[in-house]
Copies of this chain bind each other. A is one copy, B any other.
Amino acid sequence: MQIYHLLEERFARISSIEDAIGILQWDSETMMPEGAADGRSDQLATLKGLAHELLTAPDTGELLAQADQDSGQLDDWQRANLREMRRIYLHGSAVPADLVEASSKAVSKAELVWREARQNGDFALLLPHLAQVLSFQRQIGQAKGDVLGLSPYDALLDSYDPGLRQEIIDPLFTELGAELPGLIQEAQERQKKLPAIQPLNGPFPVDDQRRIGEQLMKAVGFDFNQGRLDVSLHPFCGGSTGDVRITTRYSEANFMSALMGVLHETGHALYEQGRPEKWRRQPVGLARGMSLHESQSLLIEMQACRSREFVTYLAPLVRETFQGEGPAWSPENLHRILTRVEPDFIRVDADEITYPAHILVRYKLEKALIAGNLPIEDLPSAFNEEIKKLLGLTVPDDSLGCLQDIHWPGGAWGYFPTYTLGAMTAAQLFRAACQADADILPGLAKGDFAPLRNWLRAKVHAKGSLMATDQLVAAATGQPLTAEVFRAHLRERYLTH
């Protein structure tokens, strides 16, 4: 027990450093004056280095082994905590320091070049740098895989989403991919037959947008005593344990995009704010992984806040806030705006039904690149071919194709699939929640999120990392993750009524 408690102390200390890093990163995106960027890099590199030194201290491995021998004395949470400590330790210590540093430098360089390459649609410019990043990612995957007993790509997946494997993703994405093109086409055809969407005409003052955003955040359950809402170029949910900070970006011409963004990040924040109080600074108290995290944002934004029920509550609220008049402000028209289907090139602007197509393309390609089955110079043509297949679009320019996302030059390989796994998980959790509590949907129609929130708190948030993702999903919904509930949700929302 003594050894275990020593480890708890060390991980609590690491958690405090990570929390400090979280606030500094938030500050970089929201408050920091431009000229302070270099100093901030020094601060972040120093703190990350210190956290890594604490994690991989020479005695950590030995302490973990010793604590393991005494694990009979530990309760379930402590045992799970020990398991998570080991997982984090293995990920942190698997990669030699010089490889971490070389990879980090390659990423910094590639991100810089990427900005110019994207602007000019110039893949050739990025190619050598992207090849470098890929090479380091393959080495990192290999190093982690050797320690964890996984293939390189599975090891990368495991960094973002513990327990996630290609053998889990492949059948789910294959099933979805088979249905998507037809589904998208049918949804568009049905859409054409409906009355035309009435646009909402602004300008919509930013102050009003912020006020209604905060009001809805409170309704969803965001605790402003332990969090904030601010503005940044790229919306995110960050901050630290017990101080969760989300951001959005306002446009006076379109309030809906910022508002849905706020609700999306509020879903993430709710997860962070609902982590088990007692374990907040321990590995077992962390959110389980990126799929589940994304499921919480999508559950709030896509499942709850674009439902017909919630839109009946939202419509009069926004009409009053922005003093809107006419049929454009009807719940029916608002719902149509919120569920418009429009295949297009840019992933981050995609609607609910075309978004997964973008992810399937990226998953297939990054898997092949890491496995060495696709030469990096063939990426543009392979990317465009897949987009054509799934979305029926001809990519005119790599800036609208494989150059659009920062993930690959940024070294985030193995991250993309969690977006769509999150969407599938959200659908499955939401259906289970609504089946378990008949008050949830009528609650949304009154702007009352308490029934939904309570279910999520109990089944997801308060579990932290006690269970594996698949166990958690099965315990909450009665079955492992399937593609079918999400497919049914899409059919229901986009092909019927």
Contacts and interface: CB of A to CB of B under 8 A. Distances in A.
Interface of A: 12-13, 16-17, 19-20, 23-24, 27, 31-36, 38-40, 42-43, 45-47, 50, 223-228, 240-243, 281
Contacts of A281: 42
Contacts of A35: 223, 225-226, 242-243
Contacts of A34: 225
Given A36-B243, A243-B36, A43 B20 contact: yes
A34 B226 CA distance: 7
A239 B253 CA distance: 36
Contacts of A43: 16-17, 19-20, 23, 240
A16 B241 CA distance: 22
A23 to B, nearest CB: 6
Given A39-B241, A243-B33, A243-B40, A16 B46 contact: yes
A31 to B, nearest CB: 7
B24 A39 contact: no
A67 to B, nearest CB: 22
Contacts of A223: 35
Given A19-B39, A19-B42, A50-B50, 17 more contacts: A16-B43, A17-B50, A20-B20, A23-B27, A27-B27, A31-B31, A32-B243, A33-B224, A33-B227, A33-B228, A33-B243, A35-B223, A35-B226, A36-B240, A39-B240, A42-B281, A43-B240
Contacts of A33: 224-228, 243
Contacts of A42: 12, 16, 19, 281
A47 B27 CA distance: 17
A35 B228 CA distance: 11
How many copies of this chain sit in the oligomeric assembly? 2
11 contacts: A12-B42, A16-B46, A17-B46, A19-B39, A20-B20, A20-B43, A23-B27, A24-B24, A33-B228, A35-B242, A39-B241
Given A20-B20, A20-B43, A43-B240, A226 B36 contact: yes
A184 to B, nearest CB: 42
Contact of A36 (B17, B50, B242): B242
What are the 7 closest A-B residue pairs judged by CB atoms, nearest first?
Answer: A36-B243, A35-B225, A16-B46, A35-B226, A39-B242, A20-B43, A16-B42
